[in-house]
């Protein structure tokens, strides 16, 4: 119980070094595994926890089930050592961060130990519907813009792996998480056979072979990346935002043709239309209108025409 | 490679069978080992897996059931206790509100067979409607509250709870939190001890709560509290861990590991029961140290009690009353209190995290229901379940959500108060059975002009896919009679009832219009199974003909996570693409496409359903 604070106070003097090393060995190993619901974050953490347990460590594995069954943020803390107290890893104290999705990796970056933390991240992007809500012409995707190169420059040791793609090439895109287990295995001192034994407990019997292939692929990828970093540069994930085009929107509503069905009012994504006193469609909140043309397309009587005017050149045909 | 830590000292757990269990699995194990014979629950995160784990033990050992709601579950357990068997009810914190009526009176009656109530709180509101502190219920009803700090204690304290229950003639609460429920750690397990039924004991003065009996029982309850306090003065579940005497920490439950994480050498009094509290022990402990901190998540239950005893303590001025604790929060509190040196702050890379709010699954049948609800222009009283997510963009289909079953009552009130829009209630199948039926009867009785949309996805989805009386299956997977919603609704006097296929958007729109036009109570049952539970549904994926897509993004109104922006644009807006691995082929996007450019990705094959 004599565990000193993990405050990382810089003990530099020669004679203190062995003591510091011994103290360090009393501190648990902290591995944070993150991703999006449905990706297999929990399976990765179970495989690691079970392996550590079988090697005589005390293990705590903690996860939280969010509100959504699929598509939400998922994270699992795995801590093992001679004794583990908190089930969650304190911020800035993760030894390894394994991310199954790019933006999720970035979300948890601050949990890594600044000087020694290892970052292992799939470059797969799962873009939430929320990132694609803005219908204004030229509006950018609301997804993280940082590139693997930028991220690597900010961590002690970083790997951006196109694991999902590698899994697809193996013929089963669901084993992307196991490619990452392979990568993770190179950061911890357990033997490859032990990993494979642990893995086999957590994957369906029929898929053991492809999972082991995926594991080895991830393991070899890191070995290669260490010896030859330039060779395995992951594809840049930066997407250029379409150039913003200044424009204005005008709705031309032919009152005589409107039969007050209010389809446009109910289905306008910005909810900026209404029926006026004469029950004719009108644009109530012009500042909200993005010119998406849904009302024009949905009006059964062609009573609405959307004009997208740009000062310089007509955006619309 | 990271340098490995030392392994654990194996001598601490000689020749015991040690398994990695979550807190919930350990509570279930503890109950099984204690010889529980009847267990009942209604699902609710984070408590759900307690009953699911219990159902994995042999049916000869115990009867385990999903009940229709928490009050029913607790009543079932109370009944089993009356009959002389050990019994368990489990629920989430807000479930105890539903069961509170039975709970408060049972506290007077006491037990025959040991009775344990496992309640899991959700500090931090990971998946709930509030973060109330269940320990206050223990205080309110004068029922003891045991608080495990890890899975091993979850097992040990649950076993003990049954013994205490019989020893002190009281129901006992085992209180967990999300962190306990969903953290896996090593647990030494043991065999089951059988407790044969004691048989029903006829004793109306104790078992029948009429005023004359209840008055006497109240006296007994107060005497019981004194005996419990006496017991807790020396009970080994309270642990006095000595350390530096300049300050001490009183804590309980899942806060304890955080305290140890940040203060490995401090003096700590770890309480195994957070209600009632042993006065003598607390006084002695507080006198042994110069300053006393109380570290407890949520409400200052222990802190207030200490203050009432006239003991000077510190607590909530350093540790928040809301949210979940973490080592960081405790560290910040102890730094502020001046007992920990502030750490040097390192400037970290300021990244703006991606907003990833929870979403409905691709192909979720609730999606189309809420597309139609949105188009109906109604005022919508919502309820609790996956469909609550329809409150977010882009569906934005419901206006209120209070608690399970509130929608119909709320809708009646809105209609009676004269809301200018047509009023609708949307309620899931499990929620309807849980608490929706009495309010629907009320709507008929009081002749409210409302439309009720019963979202029947054939499962209790949000909590992970549990059976309920409408699914035709029991907790253990056996066959059961199935509620016929149409017949039920007609029997209580609703004359306008229709069942529609949720995937037929045009029919959904049309039926909703007609239902709203009907004066009085109208009920629509939207009928399609959840795509995840009990079976994963994956049909052939659809694809967008890129050249034809005019980027109107009509399909994006659905909020289906399989739909995202493609790289190409039209008039400056992104065309849409479909993620083939996520799409389940529900065709909703094709139904709302304005230019009919969403087609099967491959030639049609039959739908595959995998377990
Ligand atoms: C009193 C109470 N008990 C349990 C819960 C947990 N809970 C939230 S949603 C839900 C199930 C909803 O099922 P259903 O109404 O069928 O909707 P679905 O999720 O299937 O769409 C439960 C049990 C709760 N929030 N409150
Ligand atoms: S789990 Fe089922 S009900 Fe819930 S969002 Fe997914 S498909 Fe819909
Ligand atoms: S058919 Fe369309 S709406 Fe349905 S799951 Fe596929 S992409 Fe989503």
* Tens-digit pLDDT profile for residues B306-362: 999 999 999 999 999 999 999 999 999 999 999 999 988 777 788 888 989 889 999
* Tens-digit pLDDT profile for residues A121-172: 999 999 998 899 888 888 888 899 898 888 988 899 999 999 999 999 999 8
> Distance (Å) from the C-alpha of residue A129 to the closest C-alpha of chain B?
5
Query: Where along chain B do its domains lie?
Result: 10-234, 240-337, 366-533, 536-610
Q: Residue A181 in 3-state DSSP?
A: helix
Task: State which ligand 1 atom lies nearest to the alpha carbon of B387.
Answer: 21
Question: Cα(B503)–Cα(B530) distance, rounded to whole angstroms?
Answer: 12
* Tens-digit pLDDT profile for residues A274-288: 999 999 999 999 888
Q: Do domains B240-337 and B536-610 have the same CATH topology?
A: no
For residue A10, what are its two tokens? 């810089």
Sort out which chain A residues have CB atoms less than 8 A from B377's CB and list them. Answer: 262, 265-266
* Tens-digit pLDDT profile for residues B194-215: 999 999 999 999 999 999 999 9
List residues bridging with A306 in a β-sheet: A251
**Res B349: pLDDT:** 80
User: β-strand B542-544 against B63-66: which pairing, if any?
Assistant: unpaired
CB–CB contact A292 B573 (8 Å): yes
Q: In 3D, which of B325, B367, B211 has the Cα closest to residue A90? A: B325
Question: Cα(B483)–Cα(B481) distance, rounded to whole angstroms?
Answer: 7
Q: Does ligand 2 lie within 6 Å of residue B459's CB atom?
A: no
Nearest to A187 among B1, B184, B561 (CB): B1
**Res A8: pLDDT:** 40
Q: Does B553 touch chain A (CB under 8 A)?
A: yes
Fold for domain B366-533? Rossmann fold (3.40.50)
- For residue A238, give Cα distances in angstroms to A103, A143, A145, A148: 12, 10, 6, 9
CA–chain centroid gap for B274, Å, is 21
**Res A21: pLDDT:** 76
Q: Does ligand 2 lie within 6 Å of residue B541's CB atom?
A: no
Question: pLDDT-derived band of residue A247, with 50, 70 and 90 as boundaries?
Answer: confident
Sort out which chain A residues have CB atoms less than 8 A from B46's CB and list them. Answer: 65
CA of B508 relative to ligand 3 center, distance in Å: 17
Using the predicted structure, report yes or no on whether residue B35 has a pLDDT greater than 50: yes
CB–CB contact A85 B360 (8 Å): no
Q: Does B593 touch chain A (CB under 8 A)?
A: no
For residue B522, what are its two tokens? 């109208």
Q: Are B102 and B75 in contact (CB under 8 A)?
A: yes
Phi and psi angles of residue B272, each rounded to the nearest 5 degrees, phi first: -85, -25
What lines the ligand 1 site, CB under 6 Å?
A: B 42-44, 92, 94-95, 98, 129, 384-387, 404, 428-431, 457, 459-463
Sort out which chain A residues have CB atoms less than 8 A from B17's CB and list them. Answer: none
Q: Are B185 and A59 in contact (CB under 8 A)?
A: yes
**Res A273: pLDDT:** 93
Question: Cα(A242)–Cα(A139) distance, rounded to whole angstroms?
Answer: 7
Q: Does B474 touch chain A (CB under 8 A)?
A: no
Ligand nearest to the CA of B359: 2
Describe the crossing of helices B151-168 and B23-33 by its angle, rounded to 10 degrees. Answer: 40
Question: Cα(B116)–Cα(B62) distance, rounded to whole angstroms?
Answer: 15
> Is residue B127 reached through a cis peptide bond, with omega within 30 degrees of 0 on the bond before it?
no
Q: Are B382 and B391 in contact (CB under 8 A)?
A: yes
A interface mutation test: which of B572, B583, B595 has the most A CBs within 10 A? B572
**Res B606: pLDDT:** 55
Fold for domain A26-238? Pyruvate-ferredoxin Oxidoreductase; domain 3 (3.40.920)
Question: Cα(B125)–Cα(A224) distance, rounded to whole angstroms?
Answer: 44
Q: What rounded mean pLDDT belongs to chain A?
A: 85
**Res A219: pLDDT:** 94
CB–CB contact B346 A188 (8 Å): no
Q: Which of B362, B557, B579, B602 to mutate to test the pocket of ligand 3 (most atoms within 8 A of CB)?
A: B362
Residue nearest to atom 8 of ligand 1 (CA): B385
CB–CB contact B572 A81 (8 Å): no
**Res A311: pLDDT:** 56
Interface pTM (ipTM) of the complex? 0.92
- For residue B211, give Cα distances in angstroms to B27, B196, B201, B206, B554: 36, 33, 21, 12, 64
**CATH class held by domain A248-309:** alpha beta
* Tens-digit pLDDT profile for residues B510-568: 999 999 999 999 999 999 999 998 999 999 999 999 999 999 999 999 999 999 999 89
User: In the 8-state DSSP scheme, what is residue B433?
Assistant: I
CB–CB contact A128 B572 (8 Å): no
| CATH code of the domain made up of B240-337 | 3.40.50.920
User: In the 8-state DSSP scheme, what is residue B400?
Assistant: B
For chain B, percent of residues with pLDDT exceeding 70: 98
Ligand nearest to the CA of B468: 1
CB–CB contact A135 B553 (8 Å): yes
User: In the 8-state DSSP scheme, what is residue B473?
Assistant: B
Average pLDDT of span A70-94? 93
> Within B263-326, where are the H helices?
279-288, 301-308
Torsion of CA B363, B366, B367, B373, to 10 degrees: 160
Q: Are B185 and B151 in contact (CB under 8 A)?
A: yes
List residues bridging with B189 in a β-sheet: B17
Q: What rounded mean pLDDT belongs to chain B?
A: 95
For residue B138, what are its two tokens? 């223990």
What lines the ligand 3 site, CB under 6 Å?
A: B 362-363, 542, 558, 560, 562-563, 578, 583-589
Query: Where along chain A do its domains lie?
Result: 26-238, 248-309
Q: Residue B324 in 3-state DSSP?
A: coil
Using the predicted structure, report yes or no on whether residue B506 has a pLDDT greater than 70: yes
Phi and psi angles of residue B139, each rounded to the nearest 5 degrees, phi first: -65, -45
Question: Cα(A279)–Cα(A258) distance, rounded to whole angstroms?
Answer: 9
Q: Does ligand 2 lie within 6 Å of residue B530's CB atom?
A: yes
- B149: Cβ contacts below 8 Å, ≥ 6 apart: B180, B252, B253, B254, B255, B256, B257, B270
Question: pLDDT-derived band of residue A317, with 50, 70 and 90 as boundaries?
Answer: very low
Question: pLDDT-derived band of residue A22, with 50, 70 and 90 as boundaries?
Answer: confident
CB–CB contact A88 B556 (8 Å): no
Q: Identify the architecture of domain B10-234 in CATH.
A: 3-Layer(aba) Sandwich (3.40)
Question: Cα(A131)–Cα(A51) distance, rounded to whole angstroms?
Answer: 38
DSSP per-residue string spanning A94-141: BSEEEESSHHHHHHTGGGB-TTT-EEEEE------GGGG---STTPPP
Using the predicted structure, report yes or no on whether residue A296 has a pLDDT greater than 80: yes
* Residues 155-214 of chain B whose Cβ lies under 8 A from any Cβ of chain A: 178-179, 182-186
Residue nearest to atom 6 of ligand 2 (CA): B361
Please list, residue by residue across B124-160, b when 16 or more beta carbons sit within 10 angstroms of its beta carbon and e when fewer do. Answer: bebbbbebbbbbebbbebbbbbbbbbbbbbbbbbbbb
CA of B179 relative to ligand 2 center, distance in Å: 24
CB–CB contact A70 B362 (8 Å): yes
Nearest to B348 among A7, A82, A110 (CB): A110
Sort out which chain A residues have CB atoms less than 8 A from B341's CB and list them. Answer: 7
* Tens-digit pLDDT profile for residues A183-215: 999 999 999 999 999 999 999 999 999 999 999
- For residue A274, give Cα distances in angstroms to A142, A268, B98, B350: 29, 10, 42, 42
Side-chain-side CA neighbours of B108 within 13 Å: the count stands at 20
CB–CB contact A132 B565 (8 Å): yes
Q: Identify the architecture of domain B536-610 in CATH.
A: 2-Layer Sandwich (3.30)
**Res A228: pLDDT:** 78
Side-chain-side CA neighbours of B480 within 13 Å: the count stands at 18
* Residue bearing tokens 């253990």: B476
Give CA angle at A171 (A166, A175), nearest 5°.
60
For residue B392, what are its two tokens? 């977010």
Q: Where are the beta strands (DSSP E) in A152-254?
A: 157-161, 248-253
Q: In 3D, which of A130, A108, A121, A223 has the Cα closest to residue A162? A: A121
* Residues 318-357 of chain B whose Cβ lies under 8 A from any Cβ of chain A: 326-328, 331, 341, 343, 346, 348-349, 351-357
């Amino acid at each position: 119980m004599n565990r000193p604070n993990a405050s990382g106070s810089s003990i530099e003097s020669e004679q203190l070094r062995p003591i510091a090393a011994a103290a360090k060995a009393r501190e648990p190993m902290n591995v944070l595994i993150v991703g999006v619901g449905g990706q297999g974050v929990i399976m990765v953490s179970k495989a690691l926890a079970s392996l550590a347990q079988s090697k005589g460590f005390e293990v705590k594995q903690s996860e939280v089930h969010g509100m959504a069954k699929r598509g939400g943020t998922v994270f699992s803390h795995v801590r093992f050592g001679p004794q583990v107290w908190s089930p969650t890893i304190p911020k800035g104290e993760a030894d390894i961060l394994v991310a199954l999705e790019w933006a999720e990796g970035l979300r948890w970056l601050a949990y890594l130990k600044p000087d020694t933390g290892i970052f292992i991240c799939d470059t797969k992007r799962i873009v939430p519907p929320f990132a694609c809500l803005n219908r204004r012409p030229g509006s950018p995707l609301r997804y993280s813009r940082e590139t693997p190169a930028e991220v690597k420059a900010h961590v002690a040791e970083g790997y951006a792996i196109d694991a999902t793609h590698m899994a697809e090439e193996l013929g089963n895109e669901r084993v992307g998480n196991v490619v990452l287990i392979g990568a993770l295995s190179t950061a911890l001192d357990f033997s490859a056979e032990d990993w494979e034994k642990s893995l086999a407990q957590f994957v369906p019997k029929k898929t053991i072979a492809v999972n082991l292939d995926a594991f080895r692929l991830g393991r070899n990828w890191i070995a290669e990346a260490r010896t030859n970093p330039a060779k395995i540069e992951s594809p840049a994930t930066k997407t250029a935002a379409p150039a913003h085009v200044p424009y204005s929107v005008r709705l031309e509503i032919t009152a005589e043709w409107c039969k007050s069905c209010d389809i446009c009012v109910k289905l306008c994504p910005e909810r900026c239309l209404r029926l006026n006193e004469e029950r004719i469609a009108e644009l109530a909140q012009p500042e909200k209108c993005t010119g998406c043309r849904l009302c024009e397309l949905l009006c059964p009587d062609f009573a609405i025409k959307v004009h997208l005017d740009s000062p310089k050149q007509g955006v619309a045909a | 490679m990271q340098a490995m830590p030392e392994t654990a000292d194996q001598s601490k757990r000689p020749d015991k069978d040690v398994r990695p269990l979550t807190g919930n699995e350990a509570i279930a194990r503890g109950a099984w080992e204690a010889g529980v014979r009847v267990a009942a629950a209604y699902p609710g995160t984070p408590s759900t897996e307690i009953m699911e784990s219990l159902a994995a033990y042999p049916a000869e050992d115990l009867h385990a059931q999903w009940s229709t709601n928490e009050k029913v579950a607790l009543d079932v357990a109370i009944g089993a206790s009356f009959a002389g068997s050990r019994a368990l009810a489990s629920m989430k914190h807000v479930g105890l509100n539903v069961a509170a009526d039975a709970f408060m009176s049972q506290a007077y009656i006491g037990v025959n067979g040991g009775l344990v109530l496992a309640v899991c709180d959700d500090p931090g509101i990971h998946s709930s409607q509030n973060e109330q502190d269940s320990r206050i219920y223990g205080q309110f009803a004068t029922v003891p509250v045991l608080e495990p700090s890890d899975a091993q204690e979850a097992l040990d304290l649950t076993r003990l709870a049954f013994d205490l229950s019989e020893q002190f003639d009281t129901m006992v609460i085992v209180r967990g939190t999300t962190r306990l429920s969903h953290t896996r750690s090593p647990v030494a397990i043991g065999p089951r001890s059988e407790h044969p039924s004691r048989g029903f004991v006829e004793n109306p003065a104790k078992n029948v709560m009429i005023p004359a009996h209840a008055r006497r029982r109240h006296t007994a309850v107060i005497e019981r509290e004194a005996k419990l306090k006496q017991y807790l003065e020396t009970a080994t579940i309270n642990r006095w861990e000595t350390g530096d005497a300049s300050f001490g920490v009183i804590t309980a439950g899942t806060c304890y590991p955080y305290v140890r994480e940040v203060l490995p050498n401090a003096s700590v009094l770890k309480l195994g029961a957070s209600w009632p509290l042993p006065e003598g022990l607390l006084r002695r402990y507080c006198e042994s140290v110069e300053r006393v901190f109380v570290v407890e998540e949520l409400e200052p239950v222990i802190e207030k009690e200490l203050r009432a005893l006239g003991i000077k303590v510190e607590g909530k001025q350093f540790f928040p009353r809301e949210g979940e604790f973490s080592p960081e929060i405790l560290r910040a509190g102890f730094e502020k209190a001046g007992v920990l040196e502030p750490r040097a702050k390192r400037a970290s890379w300021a990244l703006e995290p991606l907003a990833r709010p929870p979403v409905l699954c691709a192909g979720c049948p609730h999606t189309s229901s809420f597309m139609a609800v949105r188009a109906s222009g109604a005022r919508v009283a919502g309820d609790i379940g996956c469909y609550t997510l329809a409150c977010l963009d882009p569906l934005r289909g419901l206006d209120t959500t209070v608690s399970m079953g509130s929608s119909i009552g709320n809708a009646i009130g809105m209609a009676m108060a004269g809301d200018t829009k047509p009023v609708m209630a949307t309620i899931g199948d499990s929620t309807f059975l849980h608490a929706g039926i009495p309010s629907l009867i009320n709507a008929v009785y009081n002749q409210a002009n409302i439309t009720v949309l019963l979202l029947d996805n054939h499962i209790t989805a949000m909590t992970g896919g549990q059976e309920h009386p409408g699914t035709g299956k029991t907790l253990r997977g056996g066959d059961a009679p199935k509620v016929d919603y149409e017949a039920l609704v007609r029997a209580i006097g609703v004359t306008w009832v229709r069942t529609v296929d949720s995937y037929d958007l045009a029919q959904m729109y049309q039926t909703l219009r007609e239902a709203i036009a009907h004066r009085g109570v109208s009920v629509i049952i939207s009928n399609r199974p959840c795509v995840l539970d009990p079976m994963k549904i994956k049909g052939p994926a659809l694809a967008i003909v890129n050249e034809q897509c005019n980027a109107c993004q009509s399909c994006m109104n659905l909020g289906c996570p399989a739909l995202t922006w493609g790289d190409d644009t039209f008039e400056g807006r992104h065309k849409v693409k479909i993620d083939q691995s996520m799409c389940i082929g529900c065709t909703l996007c094709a139904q709302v496409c304005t230019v009919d450019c969403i087609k099967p990705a491959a030639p049609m094959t039959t739908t595959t359903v995998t377990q």
